[in-house]
Amino acid sequence: MIVPLDTSLIFFTLLSLALTILWFYANRKIPNPRNLPLPPGPTPLPIVGNIFDIPKDFPWLTYQSLSQKYGDVVHLRIMGQSIIIASTSEVAIELLEKRSANYSDRATSAIIPLLGCDWVVGLMPYGHRWRRTRQIIHQYFNRRTVEKYREIQIRETGRFLRDLLTDSDRFTISSSLIMYGFEPQDDKYFFLLEKASESTAEGLVSGTFLVEFIPFLKYIPSWVPGAGFQKKFAEWRAASAGLRDIPFGVAKEAFNAGTASSCIETALLEKISRNGGEYAVEEEEFAKDALATAHEGGADTTFSLIHWFFAAMLAHPEVQKKAQAELDAVIGPRRLPTFSDRDSLSYINAVVLECLRWFPVIPVAPHRATADDEYNGYFIPKGSLVVPNIWALARDASVYAEPEDFNPDRFLKDGKLDPDVADPSTLVFGFGRRSCAGRHLADASLFITAASVLHVYEISPHLDEMGRPAPFRPAMKPGAFLYLVPFKCRIKPRSEKAEKLVLATMDPQENLSVPAL
């Protein structure tokens, strides 16, 4: 006779076993041969450590408060995992730049494969796959190569300006043409991009899912009580896989048919086909990783930067007016800005720098120590997560006076960019071997978008039911990244001439491809 087992009993039995294993892991003794002290920090509780000291939402704000209490290096312990918070650029640069050989790894987490985003270069552990994929991204997104994409960026900016004439909520600029040689028109494709972005923004928030701390739970079927997270993970995995495979497959079909446009994937496939063999199979997988990472990361970063730019202009009309005065003086009313104008637009460049500093898109970015280390007399155990609090670095009052204010003038001296003021792009795009390889493309996109939008449009508050300007204060959305809470604003052409400039931009159906790479 077979006696049916109570699924709840199975679940709680397995959970008890997992908690027992976790107890031993959390209370294991950390080898410390030199008997150095750990950095200061709040006293941890048994087993769970400091898990209740760090809120799930906006942890960078708590890290900043802890650093004000304990110093520029803070130690936390969560479920047996040592976490080192670096809250000054000096600490971050010393550990993550100068000692990058020891801090180029990422934390391994049960969450990442469940989300299906283990192909994202920024989340890969240090190793062959990461090195090869990173090499591909660097090859096609270094400063010199990015200059070849300027014509496409100008075209996409023109498309963006036209979109704003009819839909002021359109804050997106496509990167598909550069990556894959085509521009998808199917809403299903954009749904994949949105869902894949959602998976990392929500799924990577520490403490959201218990499986992060008890990996054994990933084997629990979705029908077991308490395992509903499996359904959400399945949905996210499908979107993530689609984003990696579908655009690549479409472009590969065009390549095999001899109808592909010049783009990064075409250049990669040409190289792969020349070599052939086992090399081709592996390299194609690396190419998928690189292109999908660049596409999703570029879409997320560019969208967020542009969103924060609009928020800054809405919240600070005096900055908008000053930027427009410079554009009127340098560019005039008969054309749109180009990249060749950049050196003459000091204030616009300062606006770009302040947008990067004010609300960095990725406020924290953990690295993993692959060996024991020591900093300033403190012990950093092997396996520790070293987290530069980029939010705090960009708001260091000793570097940026009155850091909460949006003030592009902080970067200027005598009308020119002041080289003595720290460039926030050296902080917000990460450190060492883990720095963002797409930073040059993101910077170029933000510049040409900001300059073009301000040249032809006026950004003003949304009107309430009484026809009065609605008050506006930018607010952060909860999540792993620094996204804005959606807001409304009015975006109107500055003049009839400005509207004609927008309408005169390139025909969106005109064929344009990336120059030979």
Binding residues for heme: 436
Residues in the chain: 517
Asked whether 154 and 448 are in contact (CB, 8 A), the reply is yes
What are the beta bridge partners of residue 461? 489
Taking each helix axis from N to C end, the angle separating 128-141 and 277-315, rounded to the nearest 10 degrees, works out to 60
Sign of the CA dihedral with 46 first, then 49, 53, and 58 last: negative
d(CA 488, CA 477): 15
What residues contact 43, with CB distance under 8 A and at least 6 apart? Answer: none
Q: Are strands 378-380 and 385-388 parallel, antiparallel or unpaired?
A: unpaired
Handedness of CA 343, 344, 348, 350 (dihedral sign): positive
How far, in Å, are 87, 89, 109, 319, 335 from residue 409 at the CA level? 25, 22, 42, 9, 26
d(CA 87, CA 66): 9
Bridging pattern class, strands 367-368 and 416-417:
unpaired
Terminal alpha carbon distance of the chain: 70
At position 214, the amino acid (one-letter code) is I
341: CB partners within 8 A, 6+ apart: 330, 331, 451
- Distance between CA atoms of 300 and 200, rounded to whole angstroms? 11
In one-letter notation, the amino acid at residue 39 is P
What is the distance between the alpha carbons of residues 433 and 425, in angstroms, rounded to a whole number? Answer: 15
What CA–CA distance (Å, rounded) separates 374 from 381? 8
> Among candidates 306, 336, 387, 297, which has minimal Cα distance to 76?
387
Q: Give Cα separations from 229 to 173, 194, 322 (angstroms).
A: 32, 19, 49
Tell me the binding residues: 436
Count of alpha carbons within 13 angstroms of residue 106, beta-carbon side: 22
Contact 84, 102 (CB under 8 A): no
Buried b (16+ CB within 10 A) or exposed e, 477-503: eebbbbbbeebebebebbeeebbebbe
